């Protein structure tokens, strides 16, 4: 039988796991819209969009993977 603390801990870990996956998905969208969009469209200076897109994607990926890894640990 699980205690209240164990159930709450599992819910928090599940939330963090799903939140981490969400951050990773948003990072993919950010990469697709900023980086690939700048290459195709070319309205805003490509170097600026490319730099911002790469930085945002890298930071988001690191944060998302960290959250997912921490929530899976027991």
Structure tokens at 37: 């969009």
Residue range(s) defining the domain that contains residue 46: 4-72
Q: What pLDDT, in 10s, does the model give residues 9-46?
A: 887 888 888 888 888 888 888 777 776 776 676 667 77
For the chain, the domain total comes to: 1
Residue 67 has pLDDT above 60, yes or no: yes
Confidence of residue 1 (pLDDT cuts 50, 70, 90): low
Look at residue 66 in the predicted model and tell me its pLDDT: 82
Taking the C-alpha atoms of residue 43 and residue 8, their distance in angstroms, rounded to an integer, is: 49
Nearest by Cα to 35 from 11, 53, 48 = 53
From residue 69, give the alpha-carbon distance in Å to each of 26, 42, 48, 61, 64.
17, 37, 32, 12, 9
Structure tokens at 21: 């996956």
Look at residue 73 in the predicted model and tell me its pLDDT: 60
């Amino acid at each position: 039988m699980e205690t209240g603390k164990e159930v709450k801990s599992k819910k928090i870990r599940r939330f963090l796991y799903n939140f981490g996956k969400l951050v990773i998905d948003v990072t993919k969208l950010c990469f697709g819209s900023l980086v690939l969009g700048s290459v195709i469209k070319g309205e805003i200076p490509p170097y600026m969009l490319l730099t911002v897109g790469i930085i945002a994607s890298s930071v988001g990926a690191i944060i998302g993977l960290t959250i997912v890894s921490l929530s899976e640990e027991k």
